[in-house]
Structure 1
Amino acid sequence: MTKKVENLMLFMWTVAFTATLGSLYFSEVRQYEPCELCWYQRILMYPLVIILGVAYAQKNAKIAVTSLTFSIIGACISAYHYSIQKLSFMQESAPTCGRVSCTGEYINYLGFITIPFLALVAFILIIISSILVLKSIKGEK
Structure 2
Amino acid sequence: MKWRKFVLENGLHLSWVVALVATLGSLYFSEVKEYLPCKLCWYQRILMYPQVLLLAIAAVRKQTGIYAYVLPMTLLGACVSTYHYLMEKTDWIPSTSFSCGMVPCDIEYINWLGFITIPFLALCGFVLISIIHLLLWRYSRR
TM range (shorter): over 0.9
2:123 to 120, 130, 136: 120
Corresponding residue SS for 2:92? helix
Comparing 60-69 and 46-55, the one that deviates more: 60-69
Give the corresponding residue for 2:89: 86
1:6 aligns with 2:9: yes
Give the corresponding residue for 1:21: 24
Task: State the alpha-carbon separation in 2 of the partners of residues 65 and 84 from structure 1.
Answer: 30
Task: State the alpha-carbon separation in 1 of the partners of residues 101 and 37 from structure 2.
Answer: 10
Q: Which runs of 4+ in 1 moved over 4 A?
A: none
In the alignment of these two chains, the number of paired residues is 138
Comparing 4-13 and 18-27, the one that deviates more: 4-13
Corresponding residue SS for 1:88? coil
Post-superposition offset of 1:88? 1.6
Give the corresponding residue for 1:38: 41
Q: Structure 1: any 5+ residue segments left out of the alignment?
A: none
**TM-score, length-normalised on structure 1?**
0.94
2:59 to 51, 56, 59: 56
Give the corresponding residue for 2:77: 74
**TM-score, length-normalised on structure 2?**
0.93
